[in-house]
Amino acid sequence: MLGSGTQMGDENKLNEHPVGGIERLNGAVVVRLVGELDLYNAPEVRTALLEVCAEQPERLVVDLGKVDFVDSTTLGVLIEARGTLENRLAFLLAAPRLETHRALTISGLDQHLSVHATVEAALSASLNA
């Protein structure tokens, strides 16, 4: 009985859409990601980010504040999306929680991507090198 309840909860988590919302603010776009970002939902994250990148916004902030886990597939999606922007400095990550921040640090991506403590900090950060 307990096992099937746990399995059902896991199934619901797997079906959770990874994009919690997209908000446009004065030339900036904030993409809010949620839950566990992995091989299974990375295509949805990729589609959403590439659609926004195609607009070439002045600033693209990826809000990681509600992300519980991120795997290497999703980290690759972030790099791919950033590479499609004319101004790669306009791609900013915001509010990573402990596990997500750890993944960025271990992978070394925190040295290559602009990571900010809050969405507000990312929205007001300088886009100059």
Nearest partner of 100 among 128, 63, 125, judged by Cα: 63
Cα-Cα-Cα-Cα torsion 117, 93, 11, 21, nearest 10 degrees, comes to 100
One digit per residue, pLDDT tens: the chain, 129 residues?
A: 344 343 444 444 455 799 999 999 999 999 999 999 999 999 999 999 999 999 999 999 999 999 999 999 999 999 999 999 999 999 999 999 999 999 999 999 999 999 999 999 999 999 986
Cβ neighbours of residue 13 under 8 Å, at least 6 residues apart? 35, 36
> Phi first, then psi: what are they for 95, rounded to 5°?
60, 40
